[in-house]
Amino acid sequence: MSGEPNEMTGTAEPDWLQDFVREQAKTRRRSRVEVWFGRVVGVCVVLAVWQALSSFNIVQPILISSPYLVGKDIGGWFGQATLWTDLRTTLTEMLLGLLFGTVVGVVSGIIVGVRPRLAKAVQPLVIAVHSVPVVVLVPLFLLWFGFGLFPKILIVSLSVFFVMFFNTLTGTSEVNRLLISSMTIMGCGTLGIVRQVYIPSVVAWVIIAMRSAIAYALVGAVVSEFVASNSGLGYEMNNAALFLDVPRVFSVLIVLTVLGALLSGIVDVAERRLLRWR
């Protein structure tokens, strides 16, 4: 698509066309440079305003910290063991919760979705239960299952479950009924239909749901660590806030954001690989 002469047909293109194509490519390149320049300026402006607010004492520096202090804190934190133990705790909660929530959500979504009447019966109940934010249940789970990893994994699983269940249910109800009828006519049993029709068509929905599931998992893990824990990124943050260690609060936020971005990056890669046939 660059301004090369046409190699495919081998025919010589007229000079004015080559010039035109070359000119267009140049403009496009220039505008891309401009966009990136603008972005760098945007980030710099935000950081500069933040630094200025704190350096010139416009807002109390102890409350908002500053980019410099946050950078220094996060650099120091990388050398300490606490970052890695916290990261391991939160990541364990998230990944195990994602695993259980996805498996249970997808399986029950297919079981319910295969029977349209049951799906109709269950839907309003699940919506009612879902309207209670799962993170609100954190204290209850902590009371039942103690302060260890288990209640946190359960919270994460539950938030992930709802996302997965809804998406799988939608996915199964969008399956072409004609396909199922013809499979039945050809003598395929329910299990065969599930394996050959439902599961392949649900995969796309599950992968798309995975992105929001990751966000829910992150919030579930962090909030349950706020309420009661002795390790993890949420614990670290709540502790830092208690001791007015604002740079550390921002450092934890940055680590959480990067963690979320990395996980959804993995989902993006998986999506591109698994849904390539589309």
The CB density around residue 151, as the number of other CB atoms within 10 Å, is 24
The site map against other proteins for 249-268 (x = CB under 8 A) is x--xx--xx--xx-------
Q: Which of 226, 231, 267, 271 binds other proteins (CB under 8 A)?
A: 226
Compute the distance between CA of residue 218 and CA of residue 159 in angstroms, rounded to an integer: 10
For helices 81-114 and 246-274, give the axis angle rounded to 10 degrees.
40
Return the amino acid letter for 192: G
270 binds other proteins (CB under 8 A): no
Compute the distance between CA of residue 9 and CA of residue 20 in angstroms, rounded to an integer: 19
* 235 Cβ contact list (under 8 Å, min separation 6): 86, 89, 225, 226, 229
Q: Which residue number, 12 or 43, has a Cβ lying nearer to other proteins?
A: 43
241 binds other proteins (CB under 8 A): yes
Q: Which residue number, 159 or 197, has a Cβ lying nearer to other proteins?
A: 159
Find the angle CA(161)-CA(165)-CA(171) to the nearest 5 degrees: 150
Nearest distance in Å: CB 181, other proteins = 16
The CB density around residue 257, as the number of other CB atoms within 10 Å, is 11
> How many chain residues interact with other proteins (CB under 8 A)?
54
> Concatenated DSSP letters for 236-251?
HHHHHHHTT-HHHHHH
Cβ-in-10-Å burial (0-12, 13-18, 19+) of 7 comes to: exposed
Q: Could you tell me which stretch among 41-49, 86-94, 163-171, 186-194 binds other proteins (CB under 8 A)?
A: 41-49
Q: Which of 222, 229, 232, 247 binds other proteins (CB under 8 A)?
A: 222
Nearest distance in Å: CB 249, other proteins = 5
Q: Could you tell me which stretch among 3-11, 38-46, 167-175, 184-192 binds other proteins (CB under 8 A)?
A: 38-46
Return the amino acid letter for 239: N
The site map against other proteins for 56-95 (x = CB under 8 A) is -------xx-------------------------------
Q: Which of 99, 104, 122, 208 binds other proteins (CB under 8 A)?
A: 122
Q: Which of 90, 155, 246, 247 binds other proteins (CB under 8 A)?
A: 246
The site map against other proteins for 124-163 (x = CB under 8 A) is xx-xxx-xxx-xxxxxx-xxx-------------------
Q: Which of 83, 197, 213, 240 binds other proteins (CB under 8 A)?
A: 240
The CB density around residue 154, as the number of other CB atoms within 10 Å, is 24
Token readout for 210 is: 């995975």
Q: Any idea which residue has 């009612």 for tokens? A: 128
230 binds other proteins (CB under 8 A): no
Cβ-in-10-Å burial (0-12, 13-18, 19+) of 82 comes to: exposed
Interface residues with other proteins (CB under 8 A)? 35, 38-39, 41-43, 45-46, 63-64, 117-118, 120-122, 124-125, 127-129, 131-133, 135-140, 142-144, 215, 218-219, 222-223, 226-227, 234, 237-238, 240-242, 244, 246, 249, 252-253, 256-257, 260-261
